[in-house]
Amino acid sequence: MAELWSLIILNPVLNGLIALSGLLPREVQFGLAIIILTIVVRLILTPLTLRQLRSTKAMQDMQPKMQELQKKYARNKQKLQQETMKVYKEAGVNPIGCMWPMLVQFPVWIALYQSIMKALATTPENLLDLSRHLYSWQIISQALPLNSHFLWLDLGQPDSFFILAILVGGSMWVQQKMSTAPSTDPRQQSTSSTMQIMMPFMFGLFCLMFPSGLALYWLVSNIITIATQYFITGGWGYLKSPFPMQSGSRRMS
């Protein structure tokens, strides 16, 4: 299974990343390659991302109706289920429709993550392991070993200035704030508020532990998600206005 994963997904992404590095100026090769590859992968996956965003948006738009149904059929679970499915059907929304595009993208994210970690090869064991995944292309052999310096960063080490940690945490907070609809249910609202703080905080901490190459990938990925959300769902979403649902849904339709 691991070999199949390497053959089909990991090796093409890894070799693509290194070959791309070989085409770029050596001073900034790997940092720029991470940025470009992240953008390229996100572009390829755009149809799936759009589908996911639209499904999520449609689900959020249906929330007031769902809450009404929950109140109405609080004591009859079977009826609630039937009515919920009916509403989904009328709106033409598949409740798991927003999940599968994310699931399809997941292996690509993992491969990108693994490729960055492998390509950096900061220890002799990592470098040996890298040799098992490489194609015999001339451009790859000439690109190795990759120059891990980019701007103020050593991409193989955590950012000692904490700049990336702040940027990753901040961009993740913005991204979540833009897309998470405020809930009228206090419990649900409390959960989403906790998540909006915990996730950026955690990723900020990860940036202090993981190689900054990975943090750079998270940052670029977050920025692309913010941009996509901005242009697809129209504006800053829930970041600026706590209840822009109606205007947002009008723009969507």
- CB of residue 74 vs other proteins: minimum separation in angstroms? 19
- Verify binding: residue 7, other proteins, rule CB under 8 A: no
- CB of residue 28 vs other proteins: minimum separation in angstroms? 16
- Could you tell me if 153 and 216 are in contact, meaning their C-beta atoms sit under 8 angstroms apart? yes
- CB of residue 169 vs other proteins: minimum separation in angstroms? 14
Residue (131 or 246) nearer to other proteins, CB: 131
Question: Which residues from 217-236 bind other proteins, rule CB under 8 A?
Answer: none
What are the residues facing 150 on neighbouring strands?
Answer: 153
- Could you tell me if 29 and 146 are in contact, meaning their C-beta atoms sit under 8 angstroms apart? yes
Question: Which residues from 120-149 bind other proteins, rule CB under 8 A?
Answer: 120, 122-129, 131-132, 136, 138, 141-142, 144-145
- CB of residue 138 vs other proteins: minimum separation in angstroms? 7
- CB of residue 126 vs other proteins: minimum separation in angstroms? 6
Question: Which residues from 162-201 bind other proteins, rule CB under 8 A?
Answer: 187, 190-191, 194-195, 198
Nearest 5°: phi and psi at 58?
-60, -40
What are the residues facing 149 on neighbouring strands?
Answer: 154
Return the range that interacts with other proteins (CB under 8 A); candidates 77-85, 163-171, 202-210, 240-248: 202-210
Residues 6+ apart with CB under 8 A from 130: 118, 119, 121
Q: How far apart are CA 76 and CA 96, in angstroms?
A: 23
- The DSSP line for 157-221 is S--TTSHHHHHHHHHHHHHHHHHPPP-SSHHHHHHHHHHHHHHHHHHHHHHHHS-HHHHHHHHHH
Please tell me the count of residues contacting other proteins according to CB under 8 A. 35
* 13, two tokens: 């992404």
Residue selected from 9, 24, 39, 208 as contacting other proteins according to rule CB under 8 A: 208
Helix, strand, or coil (residue 27): coil
Binding footprint of other proteins on the chain (CB under 8 A): 117, 120, 122-129, 131-132, 136, 138, 141-142, 144-145, 156-158, 187, 190-191, 194-195, 198, 202, 205-206, 208-211, 214
